[in-house]
Structure 1
């Protein structure tokens, strides 16, 4: 202190006055201030507030005339009871020290509290107006609560009476699965833990090992505004507003109101009331279900009775089923009785028509047609080869004429051109004529081969057609009919189709598939005869 006394000496500087460095003066002032004041409590209004990237918090505490620079280091900020806000009246506790780099003194704050209930309420109203301006209190954004949640998440202290009241009320009304997220419900750690609990419940998956709740209840018992202040923090209000799960706030008693009550989807006056709002009464629900079932049964029975009466009334106006089907049955019976006779008459008519067609279609007619076709084919075959020869001869003759004309034309053309080319023309004309002759001969041979192939193909087509007609004749001939069990009856050499004609005949001849049988005349030895060619068909 002697150095400081020397500095404060009112006498003028003497020749023996010591010299001090700036750091020595700064250090001396630091020791004096920290030694004289030490740990102090200061009451004032928060002025400028600045949060550095390093996590340190710089702010001013002022009154009507002076300003005290204050700082809260990063490790001290988390322990502050309240975060300083501009215009907030606070009581700051810390150590008074100096900051030599800027030649100023400052207060290192390790505890900061609002200065009374009035300051807390003013800060609360300010936060309320800010959140309301952002639309977090709008009724349109509030989500409806589920009627009967399967899983209920409760954010509260695990050791208090609140959780017991909630579990007891849920067990009485409708037992549900409850997940408890333990948090501190007052103090400095309350707000961060409650916000993390709400965010943690929302981060769960519905089908995970720990199921995601269908409803969240944030609950705490009553207390002073300081005790409930954690639920007035902005971090808690924003976490509740961002929750995708419907949330019920049950903080304090009925007269206590916190910021979480405004942003939650439903506010309950007490934790027990929150449990009552979360689930219905199981017995009341069963009674209501039984009543609805009884009403449904009565309504169904009444509807069936009304429709039955309506059906009977409509049935009286309808004719009896017997009268509707009687005429149809009678027509069916008449048709059934007429059916055998109609079938027999149809068969007889078809047989008569078949016999008439067979009488007209004689084998001799088909034989004559086939013979004529064969003769035409043979005539065409005999004419084809001479015709081909004549055609080839005509083509050769025409080719020879063209060769002669070509040779004469070439000679005349070359003679008219120049007499110097006469020996060349004499050699060129025969060679050109020979080449053209060879080309014409090759073309003639090609045409001859093509014509021969065309003639042979035409001939093969005619032969195939003739074979097909022969097969058709065999198919349509009456011999095929005889092989199926039929027979041909002739009386005196004429075809018989009526019984009367057979009775008046002197003798009958019956032709089977393997031969003929004579009846009524001396029987001769019957020998199978080969069928005459080109027989007709009974069809």
Structure 2
């Protein structure tokens, strides 16, 4: 087998080893070098482009970067939008939305493809914007956010009204002026942007902020919220079509009136609110009644109430007179009862006489049965019982023990109810000089001298500046035991003194 001995002996169509040919100016480049040259060429040639296409595969990464693709019926172009530019988007990119992307073309060596780095993205025309609006409306409507059954009635006379709008525009002045003319109410304004970057986030935060207020807090919680903005194009009003705003209005715990744009303007916020007003001024008219009309209505109702009361009293008086005329005279009502009383009195006298006769007859019958033999037999029986008791003293002793137990129980009850028993536990009985019980401080202040009875004696004290009387001698100790209870005289429980 023969091998070539020099490069000139190699096959000109290709060889096993790559060799540099003298005079060859096409040096071999690395993949990174050719990718870098291609990247510079594309970026130099297409440093600023505007591309129109339909969004596809929209995805927002955790880093905040936005990845998507622009396509038409024949081609597809990958795109990326860095986080800083993606945060400034005035709409939410979705698949199927036709947009115009402004940026520059570049290549991505990692996948050997080219892409557009988007600096700004706009919806391609009003038709595409309306298509995006219709798509978003259909999706939110399918979730039930626009269901009429979710609408809440507005308070008839709100004490506090919250307004979400720009604090510098003519809208807030129109609302305040109209409220002042109809029914002056307290207004709390939550200032927000109503157009441009960040407007949707501020409006949604304001609606949620009003719902989060606590009743009785430093900032009064509104009874009604008005979301208002002046008229403009669909692009100017687009912040009120954002999903975040619609969901905030639908989730509000306070009734909301949407007053965005003029009468012909319609936003998704109008469908989510509890009531749509054609203009901000009309929203103020719908929020409160007219003070003069309300006062006239109250006066009319009061007049009707008075007329109804007078008419009711007149009808009642007329019915009373008619029914009173049908009643018989009082003498006629009593005549029958008087006759019945006389009849019953006569019957009572006859019944008493008859009863007396019956009792006399019964006494005569029983008196005839009282014979001496019967009395003698009964006397003999009682004498026999007495003889039995004389020869059975244990029965008598048993009855004595029963009686003694009852006496002991009564003695214990007496000791418990003794008004002087608490004196042994440290209580004091307070009386005046005459011995009457003093129950209150006012009564004690009116006595010059008070007598304090302790367990071991009495002590007279002066309530004023006078000298105290000498202490009374201590009472002698009562006899103890059952014999002392029998010797002590019975106390009158009706005049028993009470302790303080």
TM-score above 0.5: yes
Alpha-carbon distance in structure 2 between the residues aligned to 1:179 and 1:331: 83
Matched, 1:305 2:330: no
Given that 1:114 and 1:120 are in contact with CA atoms closer than 8 Å, whether structure 2 keeps it comes out as yes
Query: What residue is the counterpart of 1:174 in the other structure?
Result: 183
Once residues 125 and 388 of structure 2 are traced to their aligned partners in structure 1, the CA distance between those partners, rounded to angstroms, is 141
For the residue of structure 1 that corresponds to 2:110, the secondary structure is helix
Deviation at 1:463, TM superposition (A): 9.6
Aligned pairs for 1:400-439 (under 5 A) are none
The answer as to 2:88 corresponding to 1:79 is yes
Offset at residue 312 of structure 1 (A): 0.8
The residue that corresponds to 2:36 in the other structure is: 27
1:155 equivalent to 2:164? Answer: yes
Q: CA shift at 1:19, angstroms?
A: 3.3
Structure 2 matches for 1:291-302, cutoff 5 A? 291-302=300-311
Does the alignment pair 1:38 with 2:65?
A: no
Q: Give the C-alpha shift of residue 175 in structure 1.
A: 1.6
Structure 2: distance between partners of 1:135 and 1:13: 78
Q: Identify which of 34, 38, 48 aligns with 2:57.
A: 48
Q: 2:228 aligns with which of 200, 219, 225?
A: 219
8 Å CA contact retained: 1:377, 1:462: no
State the Cα distance separating 1:37 from its structure 2 match: 2.9
Match of 1:185 among 194, 200, 225: 194
- Counterpart-to-counterpart distance in 2, 1:118 and 1:85: 15
CA distance in structure 2 between the partners assigned to 1:103 and 1:121 by the alignment: 37
Give the C-alpha shift of residue 93 in structure 1: 1.8
- Match for residue 460 of structure 1 among 369, 388, 395: 395
Give the structure-2-normalised TM-score.
0.65
Q: Aligned residue for 1:126?
A: 135
Determine which of 317, 326, 331 is the counterpart of 2:326.
Answer: 317
Instruction: Note if contact 2:230-2:280 (Cα within 8 Å) is conserved in structure 1.
Output: yes
* Cα offset, 1:17, TM superposition: 4.0
- Deviation at 1:308? 1.2
| Residue aligning to 1:202 | 211
CA 1:312–1:186: 2 relative to 1, 3 Å: same
Judging changes above 3 Å, is the alpha-carbon distance between structure 1 residues 69 and 377 closer, same or farther for their aligned structure 2 residues? same
Written as runs of structure 1 = structure 2, the 5 A alignment for 1:243-392 is 243-325=252-334, 328=337, 373-378=382-387
Distance 1:156 1:464, change over 3 A: closer
* Aligned 1:448-487 pairs, distance under 5 A: 460=395
Give a deviation string over 1:70-115, Cα, whole Å, max 9, x none.
1112332210123322222212122332211111222222211112
Pairing 1:518-537 to 2, within 5 Å after superposition: none
Distance 1:127 1:373, change over 3 A: same
**Counterparts in 2 of 1:143 and 1:379: CA distance versus 1, 3 Å:** closer
- SS at the partner of 1:197? helix
Following superposition, the deviation at residue 379 of structure 1 comes to: 6.0
Cα 1:126–1:14 change in 2 (3 A) is: farther
Bigger radius of gyration among the two: 1
Distance 2:192 2:37 in 1: 48
Distance (whole Å) between structure 1 residues aligned to residue 237 and residue 398 of structure 2:
119
SS of equivalent to 2:235: coil
Residue 366 (structure 1) shift: 8.8
**Secondary structure, counterpart of 1:237 in structure 2:** helix
SS in 2 for 1:184: coil
Report how many residues are paired.
Answer: 379
What is the match of residue 58 of structure 1?
A: 67
CA contact (8 A) 1:80 1:110 kept: no
2:389 touches 2:395 (CA, 8 Å); kept in 1? no
TM-superposed CA distance for 1:316, in Å, is 0.8
**Deviates most, 297-306 or 22-31:** 22-31
- Three-state SS of the structure 1 residue aligned to 2:161 is strand
Deviation at 1:16, TM superposition (A): 5.8
User: What do residues 477-496 of structure 1 show as CA deviations (whole Å, max 9, x unaligned)?
Assistant: xxxxxxxxxxxxxxxxxxxx
- Are residue 136 (structure 1) and residue 71 (structure 2) matched? no
Tell me the residue number matched to 1:68: 77
CA distance in 1, matches of 2:247, 2:186: 27
Distance 1:59 1:379, change over 3 A: closer
Q: 1: CA distance between counterparts of 2:331 and 2:276?
A: 74
User: In the alignment, is the contact (CA less than 8 A) between 1:228 and 1:252 conserved in 2?
Assistant: yes
CA distance in 1, matches of 2:191, 2:217: 20
For 2:134 and 2:263, the matched residues in 1 are separated by 19
On the 8 A contact 1:152/1:177 being kept in 2, the answer is yes
The worse-fitting range, judged by mean Cα deviation, of 165-174 and 68-77 is 68-77
Unaligned runs of 5+ in 2: 1-20, 404-500
User: Which deviations, in whole Å up to 9, do the C-alpha atoms of 1:362-382 show, x marking residues without a partner?
Assistant: 9xx999956753445436866
Residues 91, 242 of structure 2: 8 Å contact kept: no
SS at match of 1:291: helix
2:260/2:266 contact within 8 Å kept: yes
Distance (Å, rounded) in 1 between the aligned partners of 2:85 and 2:208: 25
Change (3 A) 1:105 1:373: same
Contact 2:165–2:228 (8 Å) recurs in 1:
yes
Instruction: Indicate if the aligned counterparts of 1:83 and 1:112 stay in contact, CA closer than 8 A.
Output: no
Query: What secondary structure sits across from 1:288 in the alignment?
Result: helix
Shift of 1:198: 1.4
**C-alpha deviations, 1:438-486, integer Å up to 9, x for none?**
xxxxxxxxxxxxxxxxxx58x6169969xx9xxxxxxxxxxxxxxxxxx
Higher helix proportion, which one? Answer: 1
